[in-house]
Structure 1
Amino acid sequence: MSYLINRSHPSGPGHPSDPVLPVPPVAAGDSRPGTGVGARTGFGVPGLAHPLLAPAEWNALTRPGGASPLHWVVLNVADGPGVHPDPSCLEAVGRLRNAGVRILGRLDSAYGLRDVGELLSDAHRFIDWYRADGFLLDRCPADRAALPAVRRAVRVLRVIRDDAHIVLGHGTHPHPGHADIADQLVTFSGSWHDYRWSQAAEWTVDHPPERFCHFVHGVPRPHLEEALRIARWQGAATVWFTDRTDRDSRISPWEPLPGYWDEVVSQVGMGVSE
């Protein structure tokens, strides 16, 4: 079945330069493909700063109520697993694991330029040292030509842990063939300005919301509920919204927790009324 997915603002008028298509109201309990309603929304934490640099952030993830909406947390020790086990990371990961949170090791694919052997070496260290539950294959190539290489990389990763939870970090909608390779795809990673007028690819309606992740920075506090509505309407159950921005090139917007962390945990935990 073919769907036209309207990504004009779900609670207001579209961007002046975009065609304005009607967005139907979403009824409670509606589980139509692409709406995301009925799926449990939660957080995928794409990469906090090292626990020595951000101890409060890591501690906040395991505060009462803080861990409940976490789908997974990415561990990035030093552009990967580092050269030896890191005591601070071991402690932080242990607390999250005790809270029932899945840990993913960050593997940098460098848009397909890294050798599979290098990725495998990093993956082994994440599992041996930190007991990683899976991997975020970051900067993953998204085009059709990359499909064989991505399939091979994921197949190799599953050899060392067959139940690994694998997320492909495209940051954009890839060729639909990628959807059959991994457990989840990051189909948006960018600014709130771009996100609020973004569109979901038509093929995504053939997959449940649990398959897709959105990372959005620069989301103002008053627009949190709106951002959640967009994610649900586009059919993404794993999200990360932050008010941090990419204006400081020295710090990734994903490294600190959002300034409104407690508020967004509360909103996601309770759900947003439709």
Structure 2
Amino acid sequence: MPPVSLPPLRLAASLLTLTAALAGCGGGDGSDAPATSAPRAESSTAQHTPMQVLVPAYFNPSPGWDDITRGAKAYPDVKITAILNPENGNFTQANSQFTDAINAFRAQGGRVVGYVATGYGSRSMGAVKANVDNYLRLYPGVSGFFLDEMAAKSDQLAFYREIYEYIKGKSADLQVVGNPGTFPDSAYAGITDALVTFEGLETDYRQINPQPQSTWVYDRPTTAQAMLVHNAPTCAVMQNTLKTADLPRTHTGLAYVTSLEYDPRTDVGNPWAALPSYWTQLLGSVDALNKNQPLPSC
């Protein structure tokens, strides 16, 4: 089959700001995220759940999805969710190779969510709903949706609430993952099951901190917050990134780190075009963190 076309990279506007801004604010739609809660320490009662892996699987079924499935089989205690993205999410018929890949992955305990672009609230609601319907009709193995290019300001809440209610109206069990790529207005936590609150460079993720503006994340389970980190060149750097996600301060339970690169200054690269070079070590590291065991050797 021809190569699957990859979507335009979803870039949080915070990638173009200073590292300090990345750490505490920055809206996914190019605006500053509002201060929605008073500064406070990490909540000692916040639910810390085992770390999971969220994979932007924006590539062909073979070999990429085959490798994901092998990883799920090798590490059955690590929950993996793969983001399905055939034809940039715009399709009118099923691809049998993706269907087979989804079935094989799910047989190993994997979960699949469908990629849906939202254009920061500018895409027509009819197109978004049709996209959702196509996944459910043609890829019934999906168990939720990944809403990419999610806005971060409160003025788009009604748009995303309608999408959330539409999906949950299909089935309350369908998971809704939103991707503003930064800490959004706290109200977005009420219309998603999980939020990607960081998408960007590994060097910027080192400084990530919900405080003081977004301490509302501590009132939710760790798996309600996700990060997608790229430009992490080595296995050791990947492991340090996962340890940062696992900190009580960071409070993040859905993680993905890749060695693939993207340069926000030049708009060159695609970090989601394949799995990272250390895919197996990433799964082993998540497994070890969850079990309080030494991390595997790189």
TM-score where L is the length of structure 1: 0.82
Q: Deviations over 1:184-234 (max 9, x none)?
A: 001000010111112222221222201100000011322222211211120
What is the one-letter code of the residue matched to 1:79? N
Equivalent residue, structure 2, for 1:60: 67
CA 1:197/1:250 → structure 2, altered by over 3 Å: closer, same or farther? closer
Residue 124 (structure 1) aligned to one of 121, 127, 133 = 133
Name the SS for the 1:235 alignment partner: coil
Equivalent residue, structure 1, for 2:92: 83
**Whose helix fraction is larger, Structure 1's or Structure 2's?**
2
Distance in 2 (alpha carbons) for counterparts of 1:249 and 1:174: 24
How far is the alpha carbon of 1:67 from its aligned partner? 5.6
The farther-off stretch of 247-256 and 223-232 is 247-256
CA 1:125/1:93 → structure 2, altered by over 3 Å: closer, same or farther? same
Q: Which portions of structure 1, spanning 4 or more consecutive aligned residues, are displaced by more than 6 angstroms?
A: none
Name the SS for the 1:254 alignment partner: coil
Q: How does 1:136-151 map onto structure 2 within 5 Å?
A: 136-151=146-161
- Aligned pair 1:244/2:253, yes or no? no
Distance in 2 (alpha carbons) for counterparts of 1:230 and 1:181: 26
Equivalent residue, structure 1, for 2:276: 258
- Aligned pair 1:152/2:166, yes or no? no
Name the SS for the 2:287 alignment partner: helix
Distance in 2 (alpha carbons) for counterparts of 1:168 and 1:103: 15
Q: How does 1:87-236 map onto structure 2 within 5 Å?
A: 87-131=96-140, 132-200=142-210, 201-221=214-234, 222-233=236-247, 234-236=250-252
The CA RMSD measured in Å over matched residues stands at: 2.4
What is the one-letter code of the residue matched to 1:32? S
Distance in 1 (alpha carbons) for counterparts of 2:218 and 2:75: 30
Equivalent residue, structure 2, for 1:42: 52
Name the SS for the 2:88 alignment partner: coil
What is the one-letter code of the residue matched to 2:124? D
How far is the alpha carbon of 1:98 from its aligned partner? 1.4
Does the 8 A contact of 2:115 with 2:145 survive in 1? yes
CA 1:254/1:243 → structure 2, altered by over 3 Å: closer, same or farther? same
Equivalent residue, structure 1, for 2:12: none
Distance in 1 (alpha carbons) for counterparts of 2:156 and 2:272: 26
Does the 8 A contact of 1:188 with 1:214 survive in 2? yes
Name the SS for the 1:46 alignment partner: strand
CA 1:109/1:179 → structure 2, altered by over 3 Å: closer, same or farther? same
Distance in 2 (alpha carbons) for counterparts of 1:206 and 1:80: 32
Distance in 1 (alpha carbons) for counterparts of 2:76 and 2:82: 10
- Show structure 1 runs of 5+ residues with no match: 1-14, 19-29
Aligned residues: 243
How far is the alpha carbon of 1:249 from its aligned partner? 5.3
TM-score where L is the length of structure 2: 0.75
How far is the alpha carbon of 1:58 from its aligned partner? 1.0
Distance in 1 (alpha carbons) for counterparts of 2:239 and 2:89: 33
Distance in 2 (alpha carbons) for counterparts of 1:153 and 1:78: 21
Name the SS for the 1:111 alignment partner: helix
How far is the alpha carbon of 1:250 from its aligned partner? 6.7
Distance in 2 (alpha carbons) for counterparts of 1:137 and 1:85: 20
CA 1:264/1:244 → structure 2, altered by over 3 Å: closer, same or farther? same
What is the one-letter code of the residue matched to 2:178? L
Q: How does 1:69-80 map onto structure 2 within 5 Å?
A: 69-80=78-89
How far is the alpha carbon of 1:81 from its aligned partner? 4.6
Does the 8 A contact of 1:33 with 1:235 survive in 2? no
What is the one-letter code of the residue matched to 1:192? E
How far is the alpha carbon of 1:68 from its aligned partner? 4.2
Equivalent residue, structure 2, for 1:32: 44
